[in-house]
Structure 1
Amino acid sequence: MVVVAEVRTGRREWTAVGVISAVAAVAWGWALWSRPLQPYYAAAVHSMSHDGTAFLFAGFDPAGVVTVDKPPLAFWTQALGVAVFGFHPWAIALVQVVEGVAAVLVLHRVVRRWAGPRTALLAAALFALTPITAAINRDNLPDTLLVLLLLLAAYGVTRAIDDARWLAWAGVFVGLGFLTKMLAAWIVLPGLAAAYFVAAPGSRGRRLAWLGLAGAVTLLVSLAWPVVVTVWPGAKPFVGSTTDGSVWQLAFGYNGVSRLVGGTTGVGGGYSATVGAALGGDAGPLRLFDAEVGGQIAWLLPLAVVSLVVAACRARGAAPRTKAGWVLWGGWLIVGAAVFSFTGGIFHAYYTAELAPAIAALAAAGLVTASSWSRGRARFVLPAAVAGTAVLAFVLLDRTPDWLPWLRYTVLVLALLAVVAALVRAPRVAAVVGLAAVVAGPAAFVADTAVRPGSVLQSADPAAGPPSTAVLHTVFSDNIGGSAAAGYVRFIDSAYRLSPGQRQVLAFAQTSPADVTLAVEGGSYGAEPFLLNTEARVAPLGGYLGFDPAPSAAQLPQWVAAGKLRFVLLPQVFVDIARAGAGRPTAAAGDAGELTRRVRWEAKHCRPVPPARIGPDAATAGVLLDCGVEL
């Protein structure tokens, strides 16, 4: 690829960028007001929006019992949206849409500096039409902000080739990425560092010195919040999803090594590994193409890889900025794909959203470059690329044969027409029809995601295209039994509704002056309806899944004696699960030690409150235990 000197962005180009951004905003913002979000993080944002301690520590509950399992930056931005508009799911979703559109604009600027305006516009469009990008930007997961920050880091690297001081800003943005999703942000570091090293002017020592400085900045920003949490002198919530309340275990254990190598160590390790493996498919070189992941990210992945290989073969004599672009995006993609393909621990398909910018940039560069080859054997490259991409699209679409059954055949027909047009030397027709063949499948997935009503269960593991909760249902059924699993799924989907029975239980518990008005046993799902619909000091015992020692069974009598806790609610769904699972082991049994010990202590020392004393619907909410009086 030959890149001429950078020129000012003209009105037509800005108009095209605006159109791409507007289409993305519509796709990601459609039905903004009625969208169910991941209730775990939404409840935390509600708590953070009206409690300073929860805001600082990413606390899940306003009572300060436990934090969420991620650092706070993404939730800080969402809490600011709530501060402006009030607490509404659409206010959180709006923040995500704004961050997603900003990522489109930044990607355009980064690619433009590397490969010119045509490639930049195409890359922005391909990124906006990536299914998993649409899925995360319509949810409230931290991945949306993570992608934006990593793109800002890439922009810093491209500017640093001309002015090394920009490399420090790249370090700042990667560090902020760490404060968004911890070690996931560091995946791009090899690509960013290599791009600067191969393209920046000056001696090798000078380039290494600047990289060392940028690395120090990255480390300083990354560790700023963990250090504050560690040295904080006052009371603070227990760090969720850890065994000892250490933020370092969260960063480098639960969200670090455990994700990479798997195993059953840590809080809820066996159950989490079971669920993670089922949701993400088996680790291996073809994971990114499997039934769970392929439809989300794989559409243009072979095209991106082939483009990178061709660029590597033709790299000799390339301009430094051109070489830097290929190294940056190639390193980003290769390292990221390797990590996500072979991760042995918890893995969700939506993690691959981090790969979307690199795939879009490389695929766009490959298509634009191949379209300029009109002589000799090189003129067959574009038809071959379009044909190969169309065949992959057919395979991915064929996995859901009842959804738009005509589309997969349409893609093949469009690809055939593009190949014919290229062979008869009608390049414009070949380019337009070929591009339609390439984007038809992923664009249909994005459109379907925009107009399809969602559910809370799907928001916990967002995916684009034809919906399927079969994997989740299977996991729950294998662990807690079919009928109990169905009840558990209904229970999760009711997170945004506070039932009459739950309202009656809360009103009864509010008669106590305890610091924690109501503790909900078994994890966050039971506490979410209270936190999403009230400002009461309600807290989950055991953190996200109930396995955290937050508090431990040994701490419960201390909490009760100190007046911190009196009422504990055991949601009805867990009573049903216990009955359904009586006499048979479950995959979670080995992880539920602290949960089991707490429940045993509660059963021995707390008295069930008769539902008649609470309200006519109280029994539907579960069993309310009064721990203020010994049996």
Structure 2
Amino acid sequence: MGVKAERVALGMVLGVAAALWGWALARPLQPYYAAAVHSMSHDVSAFFFAGFDPAGVVTVDKPPLAFWTQTLGVAVFGFHPWAIALIQVIEGVAAVFVLHRVVRRWAGPRTALLAAALFALTPITAAINRDNLPDTLLVLLLLLAAYCVTRALENPRWLVWAGVFVGLGFLTKMLAAWIVLPGLALAYFVAAPGSRGRRLAWIGLAGVVTLVVSLAWPVVVTLWPGAKPFVGSTTDGSVWQLAFGYNGVTRLVGGSTGIGGGYGATVGAALGGGPGPLRLFDAEVGGQIAWLLPLALVSLVVAACRARGAAPHVRAGWALWGGWLVVGAAVFSFTGGIFHAYYTAELAPAIAALAASGLVTAWRSPVRFALPAAVVGTALLAYVLLSRTPDWLPWLRYTILALALLAVVAALLRAPRVTAVVALVAIVAGPAAFVVDTAVRPVSVLETADPEAGPPSTAALHTIVGINTGQGAEAGYVRFIDSAYQLSAGQREVLAYAQASTAEITLAIEGGTYGADPFLLNTDARVAPLGGYLGFDPAPPAADLPRWVSAGRLRFVLLPQVFVDIGRGASKQRTAVAAATDAGELTRRVGWEAKHCRPVPPALIGPDAAGAGVLFDCGVRQ
């Protein structure tokens, strides 16, 4: 393949990826993180600490790097959801380009182009790149680390840069970034020149750099001498508990480390299926990532059997992608805590690279039926995955089987070009259909909390809601979350009433960030959630509320109507979240507010105020 033809083909792949991920750019995004970016774009302290609110009450549950890049987009274009989405698209397209460069150095231009195309057509990759989750930047940073490892085979100094990028990945999504470290280290160890001791020394140096970069921000946050927001989703405000508890042990093995740990242990498995060796193929996860997974694993096994006489850079490639995939698949298959199907987006580059190499190898193999066999196996898996949504494009799974059969016939007739074209269509038709559906299907705000590609899973949406209160309450909670990008007339009236106060926090929202989202996404007011993401954080603890009020930090607190409705039915109905989580601080705060603050009559606020909830005036005792 000529250089010009390769560039044109790569440009087409990148263009298709940009079109699919950028289609309908002005779409809903995860409101929790979008609201944080809005706050970060207005307040330096919120920017540094990844604060959710401009008043400095609480941070989000992730480190800041992904939101720093999104805030830069907002700084250029102003705050619009499409400005954040544009940054995600740019990072996603950049990841496809970097994957192409890594695979090209390992397996040549044809394999690189195929890997880039397969990566772009991975359903879960499309889902995260059309949302505002940190996973998009995480994947890009890990691919940059992989590129540095391939360059380190020629100059070991590049290995230090690999450590830098993995460290930046930690500042994007914490321990998830370290999953690739065994693969990166193994690739350098098995293929780099020099003695074993020298290679281990460079790996050790890169590990130290990874650790230093990873822990730089947490150390600064810990040692910060002045006021700072409470670290969200923790019990003690410690960034270390966030990194190694809530985003660490709680994700891996379950338990209740950090706020929401019990909740994660209860519903985490439902979001991505129960842990086990077949989790990546189950109903919740399979359609997102599993289409080419068997092909990638078989390619890896075959390569391992033939690795003895391979060139160093070839061994490095198989070790890199094999280690990346095997370790990542094991972690995501058996993790027993909080788990979402979109976590598997981290596996997509390795699956695409290994599957592409396997297909090219099968095409060149002296065994005539190697490629048709790979196609038939992949087509059968596609049939199984598509059968789980029988009412969605019911003809597609039969078409894929027919194409696979046609590829076999073409191979028997010794028509290599026809075999290649038909085989490729059969392989990508299923995941490509999921990706296109993701691009053109309207997405609700509720779905952005747990993005998935292809036909949506109703069961997953009900799990996200986390409500076990019957159809009426559940429907009310769904409407509550889906209204994040709209500020109702009643909410505007409540905010206008509260703005007469001189308190540092214009309006506090009880019960978590979802109630604060509409205010932060649609105004520049100093609105803050009490209790962090789900309302259970001690941010602040109930014991601190009198001091906040007396110091002039807080006066007005809004209890959203959805929680008022749930409270009225508490004797018969209860939330699954509250059942699985220590909601003590939320209960204590609401109890203090009800006892020591005066409910403001809706008639004093405005004609629509009653629909917004109960506004407490804590500056006036009952």
- Give 2:215's aligned amino acid: L
1:584, distance to aligned residue in structure 2 (A): 5.1
Aligned CA RMSD, in angstroms, stands at 1.2
What displacement does 1:477 show?
A: 6.7
CA distance in 2, matches of 1:23, 1:90: 19
Say yes or no: does 1:622 pair with 2:609: no
Aligned-partner SS, 2:528: strand
Of 311, 317, 321, which aligns to 1:319? 311
1:344, 1:392 → 2: CA distance? 26
Q: CA offsets per residue over residues 139-195 of structure 1, 9 Å max, x none?
A: 000000000000000000000001101000000000000000000000000000000
Partner of 1:26: 19
In 1, Cα distance between equivalents of 2:83 and 2:113: 29
Q: Is the 8 A contact 1:278 1:475 kept in 2?
A: no
Partners of 2:570 and 2:237 in 1: CA distance: 30
Moved more, 577-586 or 84-93: 577-586
Question: Deviations along 1:33-62, whole A, 9 cap, x unmatched?
Answer: 2x1000000000000001000000000000
| AA in 2 matched with 1:27 | L
Are residues 1:174 and 2:166 paired? yes
SS in 2 for 1:591: coil
Question: Once the 2 structures are TM-superposed, how far is the Cα of residue 90 of structure 1 from its aligned partner?
Answer: 0.2
The 1:475/1:449 distance shift into structure 2, 3 A limit, reads closer
Equivalent residues in 2 for 1:268-307, closer than 5 Å: 268-307=260-299
1:202 is matched with 194
Checking the alignment, whether the CA contact within 8 Å between 2:466 and 2:575 is kept in structure 1 is no
AA paired with 1:72?
P
Give the distance between the partners of 1:77 and 1:584, measured in 2 at CA: 42
1:499 aligns with 2:488: yes
1:11 Cα deviation after fit: 1.1
State whether residues 473 and 486 of structure 1, in contact with CA within 8 Å, keep that contact through their aligned partners in structure 2.
no
Q: What is the CA-CA distance between 1:427 and the residue it aligns to?
A: 1.6
Moved more, 480-489 or 236-245: 480-489
Q: Deviations over 1:318-358 (max 9, x none)?
A: 00000000000000000000000001011000000000000
The reply to whether residue 613 of structure 1 matches residue 612 of structure 2 is no
- 8 A Cα contact 2:467 2:574, kept in partner: no
- For the residue of structure 2 that corresponds to 1:298, the secondary structure is helix
Distance in 2 (CA, whole Å) between partners of 1:119 and 1:16 is 12
| Offset at residue 298 of structure 1 (A) | 0.2
In 2, Cα distance between the equivalents of 1:531 and 1:196? 47
In the alignment, structure 1 residue 601 sits paired with structure 2 residue 607: no
The 5 A counterparts of 1:94-243 are 94-243=86-235
Q: How does 1:61-76 map to 2 (within 5 A)?
A: 61-76=53-68
The answer on 1:12 being equivalent to 2:1 is no
| Other structure's SS at 2:509 match | strand
CA contact (8 A) 1:481 1:580 kept: no
CA distance in 1: counterparts of 2:273 and 2:474, whole angstroms: 21
Does structure 1 residue 262 correspond to structure 2 residue 261? no
Trace 1:358-377 onto structure 2 (pairs within 5 A): 358-374=350-366
- Once the two structures are superposed, the pairs formed by residues 404-419 of structure 1 within 5 Å of their partners are 404-419=393-408
Identify unmatched segments of 5+ residues in structure 1. 1-6
Q: Does 1:431 align with 2:420?
A: yes
| Whole-angstrom CA distance in 2 between matches of 1:608 and 1:112 | 66
Question: One-letter code of the match for 2:19?
Answer: V
Please, which moves more after superposition, 565-574 or 468-477?
A: 468-477
Does 2:508 match 1:516?
Answer: no
Amino acid in the other structure paired with 2:13 = I
Kindly provide the amino acid, as one letter, of the partner of residue 599 in structure 1.
V
1:257-298 CA deviation, whole Å, 9 max, x = no partner?
A: 110010234212222322322111111111000111000000
Give 1:436's aligned amino acid: V
Cα deviation, 1:566-606, whole Å, max 9, x if unaligned, reads 10000001111122332555432352111111111111111
Name which of 46, 49, 57 aligns with 2:41.
Answer: 49
Per-residue deviation at 1:473?
A: 1.9
Provide the rounded CA distance (Å) in 2 between the counterparts of 1:480 and 1:317: 63
Between the aligned residues of both structures, percent identity stands at: 83
Q: Does the CA-based 8 Å contact 2:566-2:573 persist in structure 1?
A: no
Q: Indicate how the Cα distance of structure 1 residues 161 and 477 shifts in structure 2: closer, same or farther if over 3 A, else same.
A: closer
- In structure 1, how many angstroms separate the alpha carbons of the residues matched to 2:142 and 2:121? 19
Of 304, 317, 320, the residue aligned with 1:328 is 320
For 2:430 and 2:144, the matched residues in 1 are separated by: 29
1:112-164 CA-to-partner distances (Å, cap 9, x unmatched) read 00000000000000000000000000000000000000000000000000110
Residue 616 of structure 1 aligns to which amino acid in structure 2? P
Q: 328, 348, 351: which is aligned to 1:356?
A: 348
TM-score, with structure 2 as normaliser = 0.98
3-state SS of 2:557 partner: strand
Number of residue equivalences: 620
CA distance in 1, matches of 2:113, 2:21: 19
Taking a change above 3 Å as real, the CA distance of residues 585 and 528 of structure 1, as seen in their structure-2 partners, is closer
Tell whether the 8 Å contact from 1:37 to 1:140 is kept in structure 2 after alignment: yes
| Aligned match for 1:567, one of 553, 556, 562 | 556
| Aligned pair partner of 1:391 in 366, 380, 385 | 380
Residue 420 (structure 1) shift: 1.4
Q: In the aligned structure 2, how far is the partner of 1:477 from the partner of 1:364? A: 40
Residue pair 1:566, 1:627 contacting (<8 A) in 2 also: yes
Whether the aligned pair in 1 keeps the contact of 2:61 and 2:232 (CA below 8 Å) is yes
Q: What is the one-letter code of the residue matched to 1:542?
A: G
* Cα displacement (A) at 1:421: 1.2
Please tell me whether the aligned partners of residues 94 and 140 of structure 2 are also in contact (alpha carbons under 8 angstroms). yes
Secondary structure at the aligned position of 1:369 is classed as helix
Secondary structure of the residue that 2:615 maps to in structure 1?
strand
CA distances 1:604-628 after superposition (whole Å, capped 9, x unpaired): 1111000000000000100000111
Aligned to 2:536: 547
User: What code does the residue aligned with 2:619 have?
Assistant: G
**Hey, what's the Cα distance between the residues in 1 that align with 2:251 and 2:376?**
36
Distance in structure 1 (CA, Å) of the matches to 2:506 and 2:36: 17
How far does residue 380 in structure 1 lie from its aligned partner after superposition?
1.9
Q: In the alignment, residue 66 of structure 1 is paired with which amino acid?
A: V
Q: Deviations over 1:438-460 (max 9, x none)?
A: 00000000000000011100111
Q: Aligned partner of 1:10: which letter?
A: V
Please state if 1:480 is matched with 2:472: no
Inter-CA distance 522–304: structure 2 relative to 1 (3 Å threshold): same
> Do the aligned residues in 2 keep the contact of 1:304 with 1:360 (CA within 8 Å)?
yes
**Gaps spanning 5+ residues in structure 2: where?**
none
Contact 2:242–2:258 under 8 Å retained in 1: no
- Secondary structure in structure 2 of the residue aligned to 1:174: helix
Pick from 237, 240, 244 the counterpart of residue 248 of structure 1. 240
8 Å contact from structure 1 (residues 484, 580) kept in 2: no
* Alignment counterpart, residue 308 of structure 1, candidates 295, 300, 308: 300
